[in-house]
């Protein structure tokens, strides 16, 4: 299995790039944001609980997200590898993911982090909010809250993978194609090793 994490703040292009990467490398896309939005659309108890956190720009509790990832993983065990998008978002989630992968006798090959300035991120998200129907994109206050949560709870995850020498920053500004090429270059170097 070849497993990657696409890391970066809200609006940095993780979802956009994931769609292209899963096509090119034949990986299974595991976006916890998409899984949670599906639970909300299906009006499941998990979705109803998650919505109250997501609407405020807060993280959904670790145990809820880890349980969801665990069962998604088991349902797609035949996959060549996974592209994790928006997960892990806390150190507890990163530790749980390490353990889960170890049990499956695999690991994370690389963490690729998209770097984008905050004003560009706000612009992208407000713009998407005009059409996405995502309640967390329409209110600038909620968007700023998501950045604060990212800074406080998610940036320590970068340290976790830097210690493991798996972390690589990638410039996330430019055209979608330019950024895709830079990500592919980093992945191809990993595959060649
Ligand atoms: P989630 O769905 O993961 O959202 P996010 O991290 O906030 O990321 P986004 O989807 O907003 O951005 P993205 O980086 O994917 O960028 P995208 O490609 O879409 O999480 C939502 C919520 O769910 C969280 O706040 C939390 O409550 C909960 N949650 C999810 N995972 C969780 C977890 N693990 N633990 C706990 N809670 C969790 O692009 C954004 C926009 O920019 C698009 O309009 C796109 O077209 C545009 N764009 C992309 N690339 C470019 C470019 N190069 N130039 C110009 N525009 C671009």
% of the chain at pLDDT higher than 90: 94
Q: Which of 14, 28, 124, 168 is catalytic?
A: 14
| Ligand 1 atom at shortest distance from the alpha carbon of 93 | 34
Q: Is residue 102 part of a domain?
A: yes
Q: Is residue 140 part of a domain?
A: no
Q: Which of 20, 37, 56, 128 is catalytic?
A: 128
Range of the domain at 32: 2-116+154-192
Q: How many domains does the chain have?
A: 1
Query: What average pLDDT does the segment 81-89 reach?
Result: 97
| Ligand 1 atom at shortest distance from the alpha carbon of 127 | 44
Residue 92: half-sphere exposure toward Cβ, Cα within 13 Å: 10
Q: Is residue 111 part of a domain?
A: yes
Q: Is residue 135 part of a domain?
A: no
pTM: 0.96
Catalytic, 128? Answer yes
Q: Is the model's pLDDT at 54 over the cut of 70?
A: yes
Q: Is residue 130 part of a domain?
A: no
**Residue from 94, 124, 129 whose mutation best tests the ligand 1 pocket (most atoms within 8 A of CB):** 124
Residue 153: half-sphere exposure toward Cβ, Cα within 13 Å: 19
Distance 120 CA to ligand 1 centre (A): 13
**Residue from 5, 20, 33 whose mutation best tests the ligand 1 pocket (most atoms within 8 A of CB):** 33
Query: What average pLDDT does the segment 59-68 reach?
Result: 97
Q: What is the tens place of the pLDDT at every residue in 100-144?
A: 999 999 999 999 999 999 999 999 999 999 998 888 999 999 999
Q: Give the Cα separation of 2 and 39 in Å (integer).
A: 27
Q: Is the model's pLDDT at 192 over the cut of 80?
A: no
Cis check: omega of the bond before 14, within 30 degrees of 0: no
The CATH code of the domain that includes 80 is 3.40.50.300
Mapping DSSP onto H, E and C, the string for the chain reads: CCEEEEECCCCCCHHHHHHHHHHHHCCEEEEHHHHHHHHHHCCCHHHHHHHHHHCCCCCCCHHHHHHHHHHHHHHCCCCCCEEEECCCCCHHHHHHHHHHHHHCCCCEEEEEEEECCHHHHHHHHHHHHHHHCCHHHHCHHHHHHHHHHHHHHHHHHHHHHHHCCCEEEEECCCCHHHHHHHHHHHHHHHHHC
Residues 6 or more apart whose CB falls under 8 angstroms from that of 46 comprise 36, 39, 64, 68
**Residue from 5, 6, 12, 15 whose mutation best tests the ligand 1 pocket (most atoms within 8 A of CB):** 15
Q: What is the tens place of the pLDDT at every residue in 3-47?
A: 999 999 999 999 999 999 999 999 999 999 999 999 999 999 999
Distance 109 CA to ligand 1 centre (A): 22
**Residue found under tokens 């405020």:** 56
Q: Is residue 57 part of a domain?
A: yes
Q: What is the tens place of the pLDDT at every residue in 145-156?
A: 999 999 999 999
Q: Is the model's pLDDT at 193 over the cut of 70?
A: no
Q: Residues in the chain, how many? A: 193
Could you tell me the two tokens for 193?
């090793």
């Amino acid at each position: 299995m070849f497993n990657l994490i696409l890391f970066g703040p809200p609006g940095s292009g993780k979802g956009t790039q994931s769609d292209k990467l899963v096509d090119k490398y034949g990986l299974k896309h595991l976006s916890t944001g998409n899984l949670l939005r599906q639970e909300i659309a299906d009006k499941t108890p998990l979705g109803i609980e998650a919505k109250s956190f997501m609407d405020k720009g807060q993280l959904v509790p670790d145990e809820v997200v880890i349980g969801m990832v665990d069962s998604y993983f088991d349902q797609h065990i035949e996959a060549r590898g996974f592209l994790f998008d928006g997960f892990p978002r806390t150190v507890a989630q990163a530790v749980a993911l390490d353990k889960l992968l170890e049990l499956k006798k695999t690991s994370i090959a690389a963490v690729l982090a998209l770097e984008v300035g905050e004003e560009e991120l706000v612009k992208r998200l407000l713009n998407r909010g005009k059409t996405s129907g995502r309640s967390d994109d329409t209110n600038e206050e909620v968007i700023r809250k998501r950045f604060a949560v990212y800074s406080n709870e998610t940036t320590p995850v970068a340290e976790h993978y830097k210690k493991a020498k798996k972390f690589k920053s990638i410039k996330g500004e430019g055209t979608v194609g330019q950024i895709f090429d830079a990500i592919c270059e980093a992945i191809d170097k990993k595959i060649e090793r």
